[in-house]
Chains A and B, each alone.
Chain A
Amino acid sequence: MTSPRTSTREIVIDPLTRLEGHGRVHMFLDEAGAVDRAYLQIPELRGFEKFAQGRRSEDMPQITSRICGVCPMAHHMASAKTLDALYAVEPPPAARKIRELIYSALMVEDHALHFLFLGGPDFIVGPDAAAAKRNILGVVDLVGLDIGKEVIGVRKQLRDFVAAVTGKAIHPVFGLPGGISRGLTRELQSAAAAAAERAVAFALFALDAFRTTVLGNPAYVDLVTAEAYTHRTYYMGLVDAANRPNFYDGEVRVVDLQGAEFLRFPAAAYLDQVAEHVEPWTYMKFTFLKAVGWRGFTDGADSGVFSLAPLARINAADGMATPRAQEAYEELVATLGGKPVHHTLANHWARLVEMLYAAERMAELAADPEILGPDVRTIPTGIPTEGIGVVEAPRGTLFHHYRTDERKLITSANLIVATQNNAARIALSVDKAARALIRADSVDEGALNQVEMAYRAYDPCFGCATHSLPGTMPLVVEVRDAGGAVVREIRRG
């Protein structure tokens, strides 16, 4: 009798396209040529925890902002909040508001780019479009130069503002234990208000474009709601006291498959609520809810798999904290049949709702007189021991956890990044989409792209500030027989 292992064939997608960092998709086919199991495998960036040991705790916001070339501000802010916890100091109101203002600018900027350049190829250009068109330039061709310029323009205005406040837009010198390095001038307050006004307008435009392009196309709506892209899991997000998403601060809320509150806890309790599962085929650790347990890569109420990122934040909340975002939220929920929304591809829509919220929140904060307060630092006086901080990164909840010795030097540093927290659900998505869309005799570019769409919707970030060239990223698909020989190869790009 032939063992299942020796009768399988393997399809490999490597490297993934339009995904930060570098990953590899393996698809193992059964004897009938259908996908038996698909894996998303992530290479490891080694040595960070050891590297952090012995470093000065107050240097961590600068160090961790260099971990990732994509969302350094998220790490910087999570690190600054961890230092607050570590030194047991509460930033003054002005510092808290300036931090949130800056962070809102980051969220607008990040989500805007994703909408047009990462998600855009899938929905604006189309999942079945030729690979040569399914890229940034293809999107620009379709949406027009003015829109492309506006994305760049909005982003530049936001980044210029952030750089003026934090020293550097990419690697800020800003967050300190107990506050920030400097306050906001009236001039910068005006710059924030102007950038926010432009961002709100752009977010409204983006939502309108989504309505026209995606919701106006029945085939796309079918794709968004397809079972191949649907998982019924728990959802996690940071919420304020009224259960509305807050990217900068709040408590972690988890809702169940029906949308009812399942857990609510402060960041410091994270390790009491979430555990990690290890698989032999990847360095990625898969987090799950301790209260439910690990049941493998499966969804349902008995599986501790949970999800993060925009859709999860929408699901974990009871509404949005700003008026126009609330309207957009209500439209999304009503259109997709109520909460929680289990359709992975709805992340693209949720991201736009969040972009509008971030832009409106930025405008609110810029108009807040308290933001000009001169007191932006509570000077720490105690000896730090341990701290956990949290923010909502664009890709989901991000935790930093530091321990220090009596010299205030780091003895351990653990970063639980959003993509790690999302990894189990992403693995589910890749597997389910591959099973639904791939067969040995029909491995074409469109099908492969639709598998990749399953994880791109989360905007996963495996990037770790490695910048190796070249800029082109050919996609290689290999079908291997049981002996490891390549029996088929598809190369694109």
Chain B
Amino acid sequence: MLGLGNEYAGDDAVGVLAARALAPELDGVADVVESAASGLALLEVFQGYDHAVVLDSICTGRRPPGTVLELGLADLGPVAAPSLHQAGIPEMAAVAARLGLGFPARTRVLAVEVAIPPTFGEPLSAEVGAAVEPLRRRVREQVERWARAPAEPEGELGGAACTSTTR
């Protein structure tokens, strides 16, 4: 499980803080990684795993802050104008595939809608903070599903909740 975000920057921290909260109950079940890095710097984090859950913030501007979205690789859309530093998970998966590097075939992204820009030093907003418990529950459910059926096909779980999201 990879929790992404800047723990000092308001709601951007939600992925990291949720991962930290979940770490004790996933002990022995999953590796939990926190990171404030972005883009291809994360490529190697995924190597060697078959399953991955990514917790992050998302800013679509189309949903109320605190909304939890669940996405698979296909939901995140095709590779388009990727950035070295902002490369998204689909870009990382595509690069890994092209270069023959390992990347978890089953990757789920649980993202919490946030507003931008973030403010340093602010705690999580009430709306986003309220999403931590649903996140925890959904991660537990996902891990249990994978424990029962490790080869569960991609795409059954979350639906294309955010296929066309743009910033």
Interface size class of A (residues with CB under 8 A): 35 or more
Interface residue B158 (Cβ < 8 Å from any Cβ of A): no
Are A63 and B38 in contact (CB-based, < 8 A)?
no
Are B37 and A69 in contact (CB-based, < 8 A)?
yes
Q: Which of A67, A145, A463, A471 contacts B91 (CB 8 A)?
A: A471
Name A467's closest neighbour in chain B (CB-CB). Answer: B4
Are A470 and B79 in contact (CB-based, < 8 A)?
no
The residues in B between 55 and 92 inclusive whose CB is less than 8 angstroms from any CB of A are 56-59, 71, 76-92
Are A493 and B121 in contact (CB-based, < 8 A)?
no
**Alpha-carbon distance A104/B75, docked complex (angstroms):** 39
B1-45 interface code vs A (CB 8 A; 1 in, 0 out): 000111111001001000000000000000000011111110110
Interface residue B165 (Cβ < 8 Å from any Cβ of A): yes
Are B8 and A472 in contact (CB-based, < 8 A)?
no
A449-473 interface code vs B (CB 8 A; 1 in, 0 out): 0000000000001011111111111
Interface residue B95 (Cβ < 8 Å from any Cβ of A): yes
Interface residue A211 (Cβ < 8 Å from any Cβ of B): no
Set of chain A residues within 8 Å of B120, measured between Cβ atoms: 45-48, 50-51
A70 to chain B, nearest CB (A): 5
Are B119 and A47 in contact (CB-based, < 8 A)?
yes
B72 to chain A, nearest CB (A): 12
A257-297 interface code vs B (CB 8 A; 1 in, 0 out): 00000000000000000000000000000000000000000
Interface residue A43 (Cβ < 8 Å from any Cβ of B): yes
A133-148 interface code vs B (CB 8 A; 1 in, 0 out): 0111100100001001
Q: Which of B44, B83, B122, B162 contacts A47 (CB 8 A)?
A: B122
The A interface, classified by DSSP as helix, strand, loop or mixed, is loop
A56-79 interface code vs B (CB 8 A; 1 in, 0 out): 000000010011011010000000
B129 to chain A, nearest CB (A): 17
- The residue among A19, A136, A140, A470 with the most chain B CB atoms within 10 A of its own CB is A470
Are A472 and B81 in contact (CB-based, < 8 A)?
yes
A355 to chain B, nearest CB (A): 15
Set of chain B residues within 8 Å of A215, measured between Cβ atoms: none
Name A465's closest neighbour in chain B (CB-CB). Answer: B6
Are B6 and A464 in contact (CB-based, < 8 A)?
yes
Give the segment of A112-120, A302-310, A337-345 that binds chain B.
A112-120
Are B38 and A472 in contact (CB-based, < 8 A)?
no
Interface residue A156 (Cβ < 8 Å from any Cβ of B): yes
The residues in B between 93 and 110 inclusive whose CB is less than 8 angstroms from any CB of A are 94-95, 98-101, 109
Interface residue B157 (Cβ < 8 Å from any Cβ of A): no
Name B57's closest neighbour in chain A (CB-CB). Answer: A468
Q: Which of A63, A72, A113, A468 contacts B116 (CB 8 A)?
A: A468
The residues in A between 69 and 122 inclusive whose CB is less than 8 angstroms from any CB of B are 69-70, 72, 113-114, 117-118
B69 to chain A, nearest CB (A): 8
- The residue among A43, A47, A467, A475 with the most chain B CB atoms within 10 A of its own CB is A467
Are A45 and B167 in contact (CB-based, < 8 A)?
no
Are A50 and B121 in contact (CB-based, < 8 A)?
yes
Interface residue B114 (Cβ < 8 Å from any Cβ of A): yes
Set of chain B residues within 8 Å of A32, measured between Cβ atoms: none
Are B36 and A171 in contact (CB-based, < 8 A)?
yes
Name A148's closest neighbour in chain B (CB-CB). Answer: B99
Interface residue B118 (Cβ < 8 Å from any Cβ of A): yes
Interface residue A241 (Cβ < 8 Å from any Cβ of B): no
Interface residue A474 (Cβ < 8 Å from any Cβ of B): yes
The interface of chain A, by Cβ under 8 A from chain B, is 15, 17-20, 22, 43-48, 50-51, 63, 66-67, 69-70, 72, 113-114, 117-118, 131-132, 134-137, 140, 145, 148-149, 152, 156, 159, 170-171, 461, 463-475, 492-493
Top 3 A-B residue pairs of the complex, sorted by shortest distance between their CB atoms: A471-B88, A51-B121, A465-B6
User: Could you give 26 example pairs across A and B, Cβ below 8 Å?
Assistant: A15-B167, A43-B117, A45-B119, A47-B119, A47-B122, A50-B121, A63-B8, A66-B7, A67-B6, A70-B39, A70-B85, A140-B99, A152-B99, A152-B101, A463-B85, A463-B86, A464-B118, A465-B36, A469-B88, A470-B58, A470-B167, A471-B86, A471-B88, A472-B76, A472-B78, A472-B81
The interface of chain B, by Cβ under 8 A from chain A, is 4-9, 12, 15, 35-41, 43-44, 56-59, 71, 76-92, 94-95, 98-101, 109, 111, 114, 116-122, 162, 165-167
If A45-B118, A50-B120 are given as contacts, then 10 extra A-B residue pairs at C-beta distance below 8 Å, sorted by A number, are A22-B167, A45-B9, A63-B8, A69-B37, A118-B83, A140-B95, A463-B86, A464-B6, A466-B117, A471-B86
